[in-house]
Amino acid sequence: MRRYTLADRLIEHADQILRTLTPNNQAALRVNPGAALPVAELTPEQRREVAGLMRVNHSGEVCAQALYHGQALTARLPTVRQEMERAALEEQDHLAWCEDRLKELGSHISIFNPLWYGLSFGIGAAAGIAGDKWSLGFVAETEKQVCAHLESHMQRVPASDNRTHAILNQMHEDEDHHRNQALAAGGIDLPPPIRRIMGLVSKVMTQASYHA
């Protein structure tokens, strides 16, 4: 089996960055859970609201991809690196599903995604350098906060919009699974100050991505 050098992994991550940030470039491994459901009749206001929420969710998945990519680059144990790479691959589906729904709503992904990616990649790489327990703890806390966002969005999306609800429900199930995996693998609870900072950064990302 080939042993990948740091240069090999840097090239691989450069390719991952381009795939994550380039529109129409993510192929889902699973069928979109809302694809077979009827299209709901939404008012213009409802369409804007749902589009804003799905843009936030798409940006959140960009952040998750970057976090996993950064952690995989600096993880100490090969098993943890492989786990991060596998989680990032699974979450490609979420990126594709959110983008599909935005297209159906006649909207677009956030213009701030390159910024969110860069910040999250740096956090992920730093967490990996700090140690695998910290890295896994960041995954667990990130997924916990993502699940909270998704639950909030489910309350705001019109009940008739079954396509969006199906996507959000599956994303929530996947994110909760990744959180439990990270904890089971040895992730630690992050100190309250770090959790609060993560929450503040998340609010900034949410507000900016909702509108643009």
Looking at residue 13, its pLDDT comes to: 62
Q: What is the pLDDT of residue 37?
A: 94
Q: How confident is the model at residue 125 (pLDDT cuts 50, 70, 90)?
A: confident
Q: How far apart, in whole angstroms, are the C-alpha atoms of residue 39 and residue 32?
A: 14
Average pLDDT for the chain:
85
**Percent of the chain whose predicted confidence (pLDDT) is above 90:** 39
* 81 pLDDT more than 70: no
Q: Is 83 labelled a binding residue? A: no
Stretch 177-198: mean pLDDT: 87
Looking at residue 208, its pLDDT comes to 94
Q: Which of 15-24, 41-50, 59-68, 107-116 has the lowest mean pLDDT?
A: 15-24
pLDDT tens profile 140-181: 898 899 999 999 999 999 999 999 999 999 999 999 988 988
Q: Is the dihedral of CA 175, 181, 184, 185 positive or negative?
A: negative
| Averaged pLDDT, 182-200 | 87
Q: Judge whether residue 87 has pLDDT over 80.
A: no
104 is in an annotated binding site: no
Distance CA 138, CA 144 (A): 10
Please report, as a single letter, which amino acid is at residue 60.
Answer: G
Distances (CA, A) of 3 to 6, 9, 128: 10, 10, 20
Question: Does 39 have pLDDT greater than 80?
Answer: yes
What is the fold of 6-17+49-211?
Ferritin (1.20.1260)
Exposed/middle/buried for 136, CB within 10 Å: 0-12, 13-18, 19+? buried
Euclidean distance between CA atoms 145 and 178, whole angstroms: 12
- Contact between 75 and 81 (Cβ < 8 Å): yes
Most confident of the ranges 14-18, 20-24, 105-109, 177-181: 105-109
Hey, where are the domains in the chain?
A: 6-17+49-211
Cα–Cα separations (whole angstroms), residue 25 to 8, 68, 95, 129: 22, 19, 10, 30
Q: Which is higher by pLDDT, 44 or 7?
A: 44
Amino acid at position 138, single letter: F
Q: How many CA atoms lie within 13 A of 117 on its CB side?
A: 18
Poorest-confidence range of 37-51, 151-165, 198-212?
Answer: 198-212
pLDDT at 25 over 70: no
Tokens 């909207």 found at: 107
91 is in an annotated binding site: yes
The pLDDT assigned to 184 comes to: 86
